[in-house]
């Protein structure tokens, strides 16, 4: 199950319009592809982002090539021929979604507020700390991989 938002063209159009005009977007996540940091029912705040500023480890709001609107993590930046693409993957998945073009990405998650499901506390601070730690871990892992590759060359 993915953190899939509304698959409708209307939702994407509205979200695109808001984010491209510089406004934030807030909605409740659906699915479990970003567990444990983002869970079904958590409220996410998305800020507009310039694709050139996206870093490995950040969680982005984008439209997959199949039309689904998703919130998944950037695991790698790929620069080829002056074009930047992003490898994106749900934290709970073993396989990436694939490469996304810069124009598919409209924003990034800047706040996670835990949902009000039974047995769950309202801990925005803790969710934010987990999110930040995971993003930092992805960046650190990417740097270590780069240095390992560099030593082999």
3-state secondary structure of 15: helix
Across the chain, mean pLDDT equals: 80
Q: Where along the chain do its domains lie? A: 9-152
Asked if the model's pLDDT at residue 123 lies above 50, the reply is: no
C-alpha pair distances (Å), 18 with each of 22, 24, 48, 63: 7, 7, 9, 15
Which architecture, in CATH terms, is 9-152? Ribbon (2.10)
Model pTM score: 0.74
114 pLDDT band (50/70/90 cuts)? Answer: confident
Asked if the model's pLDDT at residue 129 lies above 70, the reply is: no
Concatenate the DSSP letters of all residues of 35-51 into one string.
TTTS-TT-EEEEEE--G
Asked if the model's pLDDT at residue 26 lies above 80, the reply is: yes
């Amino acid at each position: 199950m993915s953190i899939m938002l509304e698959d409708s063209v209307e939702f994407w159009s509205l979200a695109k319009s808001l984010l491209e005009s510089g406004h934030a977007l807030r909605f409740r996540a659906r699915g479990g592809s970003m567990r444990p940091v983002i869970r079904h029912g958590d409220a996410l705040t998305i800020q507009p982002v310039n694709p050139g500023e996206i870093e490995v480890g950040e969680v982005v709001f984008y439209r997959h090539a199949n039309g689904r609107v998703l919130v998944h993590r950037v695991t790698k930046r790929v620069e080829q021929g002056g074009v930047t693409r992003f490898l994106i993957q749900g934290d709970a998945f073993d396989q990436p979604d694939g490469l996304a073009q810069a124009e598919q990405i409209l924003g990034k998650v800047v706040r996670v507020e835990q949902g009000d499901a039974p047995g769950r506390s309202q801990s925005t601070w803790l969710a934010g700390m987990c999110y930040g730690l995971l993003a930092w871990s992805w960046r650190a892992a990417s740097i270590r991989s780069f240095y390992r590759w560099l030593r082999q060359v």
